[in-house]
Structure 1
Amino acid sequence: MNSTETKTSSNAHNVNTFLYWKDKNLISDKTYRELSIAAKLPSLKQLQDRSKDLNSLFTIKPLTNKQGVYEPLQHKLVRILTHNFSNLNNCDLTIKLTGDGTRIGKRLHIITAGFVLINNHFKSPDYVLSMAKGQESYTTIRDITFDIINSTHSLKKLTVGVKDYSLKYVLCADLKFLNLIMGLGGFKSDYCCLWCFAPTKEFRLFDKQFKKRTVEEISRLSENKKSHFNCLHKPIFPFIAVKDVIPDPLHMFLRISDQLIRQLIKLLREKDKIEKKTKNIVKSNCKSIMQFEIFVQNLGYDWHFYTCPETALMKYPDFQGPQHEKIQKHINLIDFLGDHPKFELINSLWKRFPQLIADLKHISEEHEILKFKADSKQWLEDWRRAYPSKDITVYMHVMCSHGGDAIRRHGSLSKFSQQGFEKLNDTFN
């Protein structure tokens, strides 16, 4: 590269850098113009021209039924396959459609929908398809995805230049979002599993075979006001079969970890003789509770039990993904429950759980799937021996009863993890 090319490349980099900096910090044109003159930065016109060039790459449209915007999937795919994956030859592509809701401040709720490209050899980054204002509900998600559905349900093949791609669609998100997309109600229902008709009170019966759900049956039952088995609406993506709705291994890890910690804190409260409804607890009198609080703080987190102002009951902040991972890695249960009669059983549950999640993400061979199903079944049986059966959650049921089937159909689930989309959603919001 000669000196002229080097200078041009450097100038382009500076323009991109300062455009990003100006937009991120909400700097007005007037202010930037004065700064650019005083500090010899790229001119305002250079930034405006670059902004126009970047905007021309995108086809952003307002949503038809909601306050928000979207980009047609076909336009986005053509741009990505042309500019980002030009070396990808003719092949079958799986498009993982996903979404998530978040709250910005106290009152502003945002829902983001996106996708990932997947095949046997690669997984793309997460891309955003639409963003809109609204809370997580069936109606909001239906309105936000209306334009996406219209542009995807008939898009089975795509030609980009001289290359042809076959497209297959799957859904993956946290279970709450998936239930809403598929027309089901919440987890408090007697039939909250998306994949089968298992009654919630029978999640403990992991040897029993329950009838599998289908899109057609969900649609039919949603019209029956009496015996609808938690089917409240027609599925939003009717062209995606239930067997192509994939449980997310990240949320499986997070929500089951929540339950392990919840049971641990429950036992620590019992050691300190604190009833569930005891009010205005003095923490200095709670040796076991304080021991766990110090343990978490020693991991580097500003975390503590607190008294809820409204109820005067003891509460604690929810743990996030990195916190769960650190707790799983560093906790030594003998320090907390060494004298408990079920210590060995509880300790075994904690020790085996990370391996189950690792298997869920990485195995693909049939003999590995059979072993995973046997191991997860034994784990759930041991949970029943350690804790009340009523505390078996839908995430545990899905891991043990449907995780193996998802791997058998789609291969290892690591490529479907929501971790990238969660980070992307945090960045945008």
Structure 2
Amino acid sequence: MSQKIPISILNIKHTPLASTINEAPDIEDQEIVEEVLQYIGKAGYRHISDILLFVIPDLVNRNILNPNDPIIHVRISGDGRNVGRKVKHVMVTCTILDDILNIHKADFHYTTILYPGVENYETLQNVMEPMISELHNLVINGLIDPNGTKWKIEPYFSSDWKFMAIILGFNAANANYFCPWCMCTKKDIGNRDKIHKIEKNMNQIQSSKPPPGHLKAPLLPMIPLDHYVPDELHVMLRIWDRMWALVIQELKSENRFDDNIRRIISVEMQRISVRFHFWQDHDTQSWSYTSLMGGDKEIVLQNFNFEVLFNIERANLINQLWRDFYVLYKSMKEPETDSALFAIQAKKWLDLFLTPYQGEPNTISFKKGLYRPKDITPYMHVLINHIPEFIKLHGHFGLAAFSCAGVEKKNHDQVSAFFRKTMKNGGKGIERKSAIFEILYYENQFMYFTQQSTFDSVLKPQYFQI
């Protein structure tokens, strides 16, 4: 197997340890944290072409790829897991968009780059250098398999906002020019009269005078900008976070965020079978609450009844906002969704989100609205303006095909499983092969066993300086 998909270990130059990560750790197990730190400066690499050549026969046998129409739609993704508060475990993967039945499974996202360290532009530029060159060659020249078939490679990219912005050399989401696809500014994000379309392209971004916000050269310029597709899961997660924060903010502004309200919220969460609780930080005295996973957030979108917190009229507005967003989220993932109809529904949802106040405050006729234009987030901007475009462009796959849930699960599981002293040499704590190599070795095993009955021995990894 190692002859078919060789594993290279790269020595990364200039890999400083990150300053304290402000985000919550994804993995806090101290044993794992200490082990990950041991591998700073090392990266694992597998060639995309080797992976493709290995999986093509099976994809052809399953009628997923057609040698008479030799095109492979390859999606590149990236993810960084917070391991403690000092380091990230970063992976870059590829998967086959054509293999729709397996696109959501973690084991069908094949790791190409793997390293513990910093998730920033300079490090990724350094680590990804061999992969960037390889992908450029594949897009330009195609891939010839052992049967002589020349496959055209159509590349795509999907990740969370931060990773995509790094790959594009783009501003952070809180910058004035925040959108990778259009020229919208923070001032115009809530302007319903302006129509924002995908108006930039990779040639403009690579030029000597790129559009505002593009601070560095894109790392993967061979992928067209309209093939950089938002991760539909993060669209839902981050918009949910904003709407929930607005609910909590309203309760606080009315001086109702007390023990009784926190108990009511917890009871309602229990009613809909979501594990949720509040706790108070001993040092700051501020209240925190459970960070829900995607499945639980969907349950809340569908079922949480805001009548337990607000009067019926206001609760109906908020309930409708949450239910309508859930409908949009389900719709955006379906291959048969009509992009024009989705655009209309998304605009209606925005109108509901921006429901204005009616009447004069402190009068009997006064009706409280919902939220303000400044409450709109970049992910909401993408939902309203660009998701309809991506549905039209790539809806034949369904935007669910661009979900990064499988990549994130793969990264989390790998770190948890392989970076443990107890896994080494019968638990004696004696150094074994690099955990990075072990992860990629395991992937090779899985790929082999899905198609073969025996497993080839693995050769010693190659070492390169980059």
Considering the TM-score relative to the shorter chain, is it more than 0.5? yes
Specify the alignment match of 1:160 in structure 2.
Answer: 145
* Distance across 1 between alignment mates of 2:135 and 2:265: 50
> Residue 380 of structure 2: which of 396, 407, 415 is its match?
396
User: What's the TM-score once normalised by structure 2's chain length?
Assistant: 0.71
* 1:326-405 map, 5 Å: 326-339=299-312, 341-364=313-336, 368-385=338-355, 386-405=370-389
Specify the alignment match of 1:203 in structure 2.
Answer: 189
* Distance across 2 between alignment mates of 1:310 and 1:287: 22
Larger Rg: 1
Give aligned pairs, total. 359
What's the RMSD between the two structures over aligned residues?
2.4
Amino acid at match of 2:145: V
* Distance across 2 between alignment mates of 1:110 and 1:98: 14
For the structure 1 residues 299 and 122, does the alpha-carbon distance in structure 2 shift closer, same or farther, using more than 3 Å as the test? closer
* 1:161-240 map, 5 Å: 161-162=146-147, 163-210=149-196, 212-220=199-207, 229-240=212-223
Contact 1:360 1:403 in 2 (8 A): yes
> Residue 269 of structure 2: which of 277, 296, 302 is its match?
296
SS state of the match for residue 78, structure 2? strand
Contact 1:97 1:115 in 2 (8 A): yes
Specify the alignment match of 1:43 in structure 2.
Answer: none
Amino acid at match of 2:412: D
Specify the alignment match of 1:49 in structure 2.
Answer: none
* Distance across 1 between alignment mates of 2:183 and 2:10: 35
CA offsets 1:365-421 (integer angstroms, 9 cap, x no match) = 6xx211100110111121112112211000000011000111111122121211221
Percent identity over paired residues:
24
1:78 Cα deviation after fit: 0.6
* 1:401-416 map, 5 Å: 401-411=385-395, 412-416=398-402
Amino acid at match of 2:66: N
Gaps of 5+ in 1: 1-53, 275-284
Amino acid at match of 1:213: K
1:297 Cα deviation after fit: 4.4
Contact 2:321 2:352 in 1 (8 A): yes
Specify the alignment match of 2:459 in structure 1.
Answer: none
For the structure 1 residues 170 and 206, does the alpha-carbon distance in structure 2 shift closer, same or farther, using more than 3 Å as the test? farther
* Distance across 1 between alignment mates of 2:252 and 2:283: 21
* 1:134-145 map, 5 Å: 134-145=117-128
CA offsets 1:291-347 (integer angstroms, 9 cap, x no match) = 1123334555553222223422222232221221222233122222234x5333222
For the structure 1 residues 119 and 316, does the alpha-carbon distance in structure 2 shift closer, same or farther, using more than 3 Å as the test? same
SS state of the match for residue 62, structure 1? strand
Amino acid at match of 1:98: S
SS state of the match for residue 248, structure 2? helix
Contact 2:302 2:323 in 1 (8 A): no
1:243 Cα deviation after fit: 1.0
Specify the alignment match of 2:96 in structure 1.
Answer: 117
* Distance across 1 between alignment mates of 2:321 and 2:50: 48
The yes-or-no answer on 1:74 pairing with 2:79 is: no
* Distance across 1 between alignment mates of 2:336 and 2:324: 19
1:122 Cα deviation after fit: 5.6
CA offsets 1:17-49 (integer angstroms, 9 cap, x no match) = xxxxxxxxxxxxxxxxxxxxxxxxxxxxxxxxx
* Distance across 1 between alignment mates of 2:414 and 2:99: 29
